[in-house]
Amino acid sequence: MKRDFDLTGRHALVTGGRGLAAGMARGLADAGAEVVILSRTKPENCAYPFVQADLADRDALRAGFDGALALMGGRIDILVNCAGIQRRHECEDFPMEDWDEVLEVNLTAVFELSQLAGRVMLKQGKGKIINVASMISFFGGMRIPAYAASKGGVAQLTKALAVAWAGKGIQVNALAPGYMVTDMNDALLRDEARRTSILSRIPAGRWGTPEDMAGPCVFLASDASDYVNGAVIPVDGAYLVC
C-alpha cells in the first residue's frame, strides 16, 4: 500500500504558490514528487523551482508552461490547477472587467493548462490532473457571481476531461475545499458575524487549513486513485452535508 502512494521520481506542476497550493505542493514533495511552481509572483520562501507567468495572459501562460515543462525534462506526471482569484461586488454592479479576469484565471487557464499537460500525458500514456473546485461549485455565494460561475465550470470541465481521457491512462479529478484559512478568505475571516456563522455549520468545529488539502491531493496524484475519475471531492469538515 505504501508503494501506491509513493510519488518518487514523478514530476508535478502546481499553479499558484501560496495558501492551498503551498499545502498541496508540500504534500506532493513529501511523497517524493519533484515539484515546480507556476505563478504570477514567486511565493515567499519558495522551496521549489519557480516559473513566473500571469495566467490571465494566454501567451504568458503558454510560455510559462513550456518553461516549467523544460525544468521537468519534458515530462509531466501531475498537474495541480490551484491558482485562482476572487472579486466581490453586488451582482447588479459587478464590473465586466472583473468578470472577464476571474473567468480567465479560474476557468479558461485551467482548461488550457489541462489541454497542454494532457497532450504530453497522452503521449506518455499516463497522467494525473487535479483541479481545485470549491464549495461554490455546489451552491451560490454572496457577491461572487464570477467566482461561482468559474468554480461551477471547473467541476463540469473536470468531468468532461475525465470522460475524454479515462481510457487513455489519464485521471482528471477535482478537490472542493470548504472554508479555509487563506488570504482569499481574508474578507470573511475579518467579518466576525460571517466567520461565526460559517463556523457554526462546520461539523469538524474549525475552518480548514492548507495542510488539510495535502493528503487528498497525494491520493489523487498517486496510483491509489487509478480508478477514480471525474470526481469532485469535498474537503470541508462535512460542511456540505450538514
Q: What is the SS3 assignment for 3?
A: helix
Q: How far apart are CA 129 and CA 114, in angstroms?
A: 7
Q: Which residues of 161-185 are buried (b: 16+ CB within 10 A; e: fewer)?
A: bbeebeeeebbbbbbbbbbbebeeb
Q: What is the SS3 assignment for 115?
A: helix
Catalytic residues: 147
In degrees and rounded to multiples of 5, residue 93 shows phi and psi of: -115, 10
Q: Contact at 8 Å (CB) between 17 and 25?
A: yes
In degrees and rounded to multiples of 5, residue 112 shows phi and psi of: -65, -40
Q: What is the SS3 assignment for 128?
A: strand
Give Cα separations from 205 to 179, 196, 232 (angstroms). 12, 11, 23
Q: What is the SS3 assignment for 24?
A: helix
Q: How far apart are CA 81 and CA 78, in angstroms?
A: 10
